Chains A and B, each alone.
Chain A
Amino acid sequence: MEKMPGWADAVLVPLISLLLAAILSAGVILAIGENPVTAFKLMVDGALMRSAGWGYTLYYTTNFIFTGLAVAVAFHARLFNIGGEGQAMLGGLGVALACLYIPWPHWSLALIGASLGGAVFGALWALVPAWLQAKRGSHIVITTIMFNYIAYSVLGYLLVNVLRPVGSMDPATPKFPETTHLPSFRDMFSTADTILFRGAPANVSFFLALIACVFVWLLIWRTRLGYEIRAFGHSETGANYAGISGVKITVIAMLISGALAGLMAVNTTQGEAERLILNSTEGAGFIGIAVALMGRNHPLGVFIAALLFGFLYQGGAELALWTTIPRELIVVIQALVILFTGALDNMVRMPLEKLFLALRRKEAS
């Protein structure tokens, strides 16, 4: 018998965890001598009340959808991919190479080419840890952490020594050609009279992220491969007994995960910076962990969680601008969300389960 109804598991537990994280965050804001209510109002004003704010919120959301999905797909196979950051960095390299060295006639083709570049490079960066986990039993958490650092060094070397234009001090590639410019929300939604999303970096890759959500949903719940991934994640021995190859599933799940993380670079590198810089990921790979945990590894949940973190990121930037609260407040909130929805999950779950059991007993008697 289920201890808790499904809706409580999917909605109530994350909601209570989120509430706990919010209460603690408010306490932190109080402790540093600011008013949490004013701070929250500032965040809402900055992130949601103007179209430019939404433009930033949705830009961050796009990143977090990709990295959140990446972590979620790996979680379904019970693999903890902390390497989203490194995979997204290498994805940036793929995007940059595709944009710089292939003369695209139109942005739509450039988008497809750059997406392929980002996905392939991201997937390849996940391949070695995946293969080592599957074949040699090397713990994927450790190897993906190590690969994050190696990615940073590889990218640093390439940007400083190979890709940097002559005479430039900045470790970055030259600007991408004009034809690879992705339409921003401003280009798409502004009319002659009203300019919307002024100066905001949100661009067409947001829709690519939505497509990725649908793709992941179809993959995990509507295909044979998705079934095998979930079966493997549920019970390795059970899956083996059913003739599912653990090596195959581990490698494929990590390749998909790495590709999704790599796709994030389309948004940051082609969509926003229009050149590859050293720290284009800005920790989005790690936020994917919080997003996937909060979203319960479901694409819809990931979307909602990514939207929330997009709001927090943009709101946090506004806070840093108008108050003395530094941007790092967002890192604390992120940590609390990971702590409560991930590690302390049972702390919320156990009392709830008891509550539902007690309610059911009452009904029965």
Chain B
Amino acid sequence: MDFMTLLQVLESTIRLATPLLLACLAGLYSERAGIFDIGLEGKMLVAAFFSAAVAYQTGSVWLGLLAGIASSMALAAIHGLASITFRGNQLISGVAINFLAAGMTVLVAQDWFQQGGRTPSLIGGARFEPITLPFTEALADVPVLGPIYGGLISSHTILVYVAFAAVPLTWWILYRTRFGLRLRAVGENPESVDTAGVSVVGLRYAAVAIAGLLCGIAGAYLATALQAGFVKDMTAGRGFIALAALIFAKWRPWYALWATLLFGLLQAISIRFQNIPVGDFVIPVQFMEALPYILTIIILAGFVGKAIPPRAGGEPYVKER
């Protein structure tokens, strides 16, 4: 593999890791507050559709992004209502949200655009354009460093930088602010938070809302930056890969970055190479596709380090009387 191929694979890794990273951080906020969220996939999917649809109608990608975030947060509100207010089963609620998104997006897309459940292709201002960072020109002629800076670091859309900036920000919020401390506490031991006079319900709703916001950005990225428009089921299991990455990362922000980059790399490799020959043996493309899930099972099984979820995860909180 030559240098340029390597560079291309790594560049595609970053682009493919971005939606995973955003969704993974979304899951992180929610699950750290004790709300399991297997509806990441569905929230991304509605956001992808509504961002593409609104961006197409208005010609403004920013309005599209807003619409995507709003739709994702609406689903997050349903999840909150079911799992916080009515103390229902959080997993079942997540399953319902995934189906609701899968059905509604195609239904509305067909009603609005009559193109078999897709939006028309986005052009011009309806898409996020790559940003060229300063000094790209100046460094372009420097060997090795130039292509790395120009291809790998520069010339991504703004949402990629947002996603990567969200990692230190999440770390800071979780470990250096009062809100973060309370958020983590409510996922481990909600009784203690309640005793301290802080609203468990309020904190959990806040966490679910943040998850909705991040999934909204992830979905908008898929439809308006990574691709040009919405197609049916375009998330293609990314919500579940993000969930896998979250477990892989043991519910911590920096690890989430590495986990999603790893899974992004696996995706990039399987797209670029299909079947990979190693000596006489050929690694089939299906193995590369399944690898994130297999790795997650191994981590979950506790053979390589132990992944311990937040202690109060999945349990509705019932206030003592």
Contacts of B107 in A (CB 8 A): 28, 32, 325-326, 328-329, 332
Contacts of A150 in B (CB 8 A): 290, 293-294, 297
Does A82 belong to the interface (CB within 8 Å)? yes
A80 vs B38: C-alpha distance when bound (angstroms): 13
Q: How far is the CB of B287 from chain A (nearest CB, A)?
A: 7
**Is A161 engaged at the interface, CB distance under 8 Å to the other chain?**
yes
B97 CB within 8 Å of chain A: yes
| In the assembled complex, A33 has its CB within 8 A of some CB on chain B | yes
Does residue B166 face the partner (Cβ distance < 8 Å to A)?
A: no
B104→A332 contact, CB < 8 A: yes
Q: Of the candidates B88, B92, B309, which one forms a contact with A289 in the assembled complex, judged by CB atoms under 8 Å apart?
A: B92
Which listed residue (B89, B103, B302) contacts A342, Cβ 8 A?
B89
- Is B119 positioned at the interface, with any CB of A under 8 Å from its CB? no
Is the C-beta of B93 less than 8 angstroms from some C-beta in chain A? yes
* Cβ-based interface call for A16 (8 A): no
Q: Tell me whether A332 and B103 are in contact (CB under 8 A).
A: yes
| In contact, A138 and B89 (Cβ under 8 angstroms) | no
Interface assignment of A237: CB less than 8 Å from any CB of chain B = no
Using Cβ atoms and an 8 Å threshold, which residues of chain A touch B243?
142, 145
Docked-complex contact B89 and A343, CB < 8 angstroms = yes
Contacts A154-B286, A326-B110 given; does A141 touch B38 at CB 8 Å: yes
For chain A, the bracket of interface size reads 35 or more
Q: How many residues of B contact A (CB 8 A)?
A: 48
Interface residues of B in 277-296 (CB under 8 A from A): 284, 286-287, 289-290, 293-294, 296
Known: A139-B309, A150-B293. A339 touches B300 (CB 8 A): no
Residues of A with C-beta under 8 A to B89: 80, 342-343
Does the CB pair A331–B103 fall under 8 Å? yes
- Residue B100 lies at the interface, judged by CB distance under 8 Å to chain A: yes
Please give, as numbers and ranges, the residues of chain B lying within 8 Å of A142 by CB-CB distance.
243-244, 247, 296, 300
Query: Which B residue's beta carbon lies closest to that of A157?
Result: B286
The verdict on B237 contacting chain A, using a C-beta distance below 8 Å, is yes
CA distance A52 to B91 in the complex (A): 37
- B117 and A138 contacting across the interface, CB-CB below 8 Å: no
Closest to A331 in B: B103
Instruction: Verify if B176 is at the interface (C-beta below 8 Å from A).
Output: no
Q: How far is the CB of A354 from chain B (nearest CB, A)?
A: 14
Give the shortest distance, in Å, between A281 (CB) and chain B (any CB).
Answer: 15
**B86 CB within 8 Å of chain A:** yes
Q: Within 8 Å of chain A (Cβ to Cβ): is B78?
A: yes
With contacts A32-B111, A346-B87 taken as known, whether A339 is within 8 angstroms of B96 at the C-beta atoms is yes
Residue pair B95, A82 in contact (C-beta under 8 Å): yes
B262 to chain A, nearest CB (A): 16
Select A286's contact among B99, B244, B289, beta carbons within 8 Å. B99
Please, what's the 1-or-0 string for B2-33, where 1 marks a CB less than 8 Å from any CB in chain A? 00000000000000000000000000000000
Q: Which residues of B contact A157 (CB under 8 A)?
A: 284, 286-287
Looking at the assembled complex, report how far the CB atom of A334 sits from the nearest CB atom of chain B, in whole angstroms: 6
Interface status of A9 (Cβ within 8 A of chain B): no
Judged by a CB distance under 8 angstroms, whether A146 is at the interface is: yes
Interface assignment of B173: CB less than 8 Å from any CB of chain A: no
Q: Which residues of chain B come closer than 8 Å to A335, judged between CB atoms?
A: 96-100, 102-103
Q: By CB atoms of chain B within 10 A, which of A142, A329, A335 has the most?
A: A142
How far does the alpha carbon of A139 sit from the alpha carbon of B296 in the complex, in Å? 11
CB distance from B111 to the nearest CB of A (A): 4
Return the chain B residue nearest A159 by Cβ: B286
A224 to B95, CA, bound (A): 32
Q: Is the CB of B92 within 8 A of A138?
A: no
Any chain B CB within 8 A of the CB of A15?
no
A-chain residues with CB within 8 Å of residue B309 when the two chains form the complex: 139
Select one of A146, A324, A331 contacting B99, CB under 8 A: A331
* Chain A residue at smallest Cβ distance from B99: A335
Q: Which of B93, B96, B99, B300 contacts A143 (CB 8 A)?
A: B300
Between B90, B100, B117, the greatest number of chain A beta carbons within 10 A of the residue's beta carbon is seen for B100
Say whether A336 faces chain B, with CB atoms less than 8 Å apart: yes
Is B108 in the interface zone, CB < 8 Å from A?
yes
The answer, yes or no, to whether A330 is at the interface (CB within 8 Å) is: yes
A149 touches B240 (CB 8 A): yes
Q: CA–CA, A329 to B90, complex, Å?
A: 24
Q: Is B77 an interface residue (CB 8 A)?
A: no
Whether the Cβ atoms of A342 and B96 lie closer than 8 Å is: yes
Q: Which residues of A contact B296 (CB under 8 A)?
A: 142, 146
Q: How far is the CA of A342 from the CA of B87 in the complex (A)?
A: 11
Contact across chains for B284 and A161 when beta carbons are under 8 A apart: yes
Given A28-B107, A339-B96, A346-B88, answer yes or no on A326-B38 (Cβ-Cβ < 8 Å).
no
In Å, the complex CA distance between A150 and B295 comes to: 11
Assess whether A183 is interfacial by the CB under 8 Å rule.
Answer: no
Cβ–Cβ < 8 Å partners of B81 in chain A: 344
Question: Does A342 contact B93, Cβ atoms closer than 8 Å?
Answer: yes
Instruction: Decide: B88 and A342 in contact? CB cutoff 8 A.
Output: yes
| Given known A143-B297, A161-B284, A328-B117, contact A286–B95 (CB-CB < 8 A) | yes
17 pairs from A and B in contact (CB 8 Å cutoff): A141-B91, A142-B300, A146-B293, A149-B289, A150-B290, A150-B294, A154-B286, A156-B286, A157-B286, A286-B99, A324-B110, A324-B114, A326-B110, A331-B106, A333-B103, A336-B96, A342-B92
B contact residues vs A (CB 8 Å cutoff): 36, 38, 78, 81-83, 86-93, 95-100, 102-104, 106-108, 110-111, 114, 117, 237, 240, 243-244, 247, 284, 286-287, 289-290, 293-294, 296-297, 300-302, 309
The 4 closest A-B pairs by CB, nearest first: A331-B103, A343-B93, A335-B99, A332-B103
Task: Contacts A146-B293, A326-B117, A338-B95 known; list 13 others, CB within 8 Å.
Answer: A80-B89, A132-B297, A136-B300, A136-B302, A141-B91, A146-B297, A154-B286, A286-B95, A289-B92, A328-B103, A332-B107, A336-B96, A346-B87
